[in-house]
Amino acid sequence: MKYEPTTHQFVCVIGKKIETGRALNALGHMTAGLVALHGDKAPLRFQDYVDKDGGRHPSISDNGFIVLKADNSNKIRTLRAALIEKDVLFTDFTNTMIDGTYVEQHDRTEATPEAELEYFGICFFMDKAESRELTKKFSLYR
Identify the architecture of domain 8-140 in CATH.
Answer: 3-Layer(aba) Sandwich (3.40)
- Taking only the tens of pLDDT, the chain with its 142 residues reads 677 889 999 999 999 999 999 999 999 999 999 999 998 889 999 999 999 999 999 999 999 999 999 999 999 999 999 999 999 999 999 999 999 999 999 999 999 999 999 999 999 999 999 999 999 999 999 8
CA distances 124 to 84, 110, 115, 117, 130, Å, are 11, 23, 21, 19, 12
Q: Where are the beta strands (DSSP E) in the chain?
A: 8-15, 46-50, 56-61, 64-70, 90-94, 119-127, 139-140
pTM of the predicted model as reported, rounded to 2 decimal places: 0.92
What residue spans define the domains of the chain? 8-140
Where residue 11 falls (left for φ over 0; alpha for ψ -120 to 50; beta otherwise) is beta
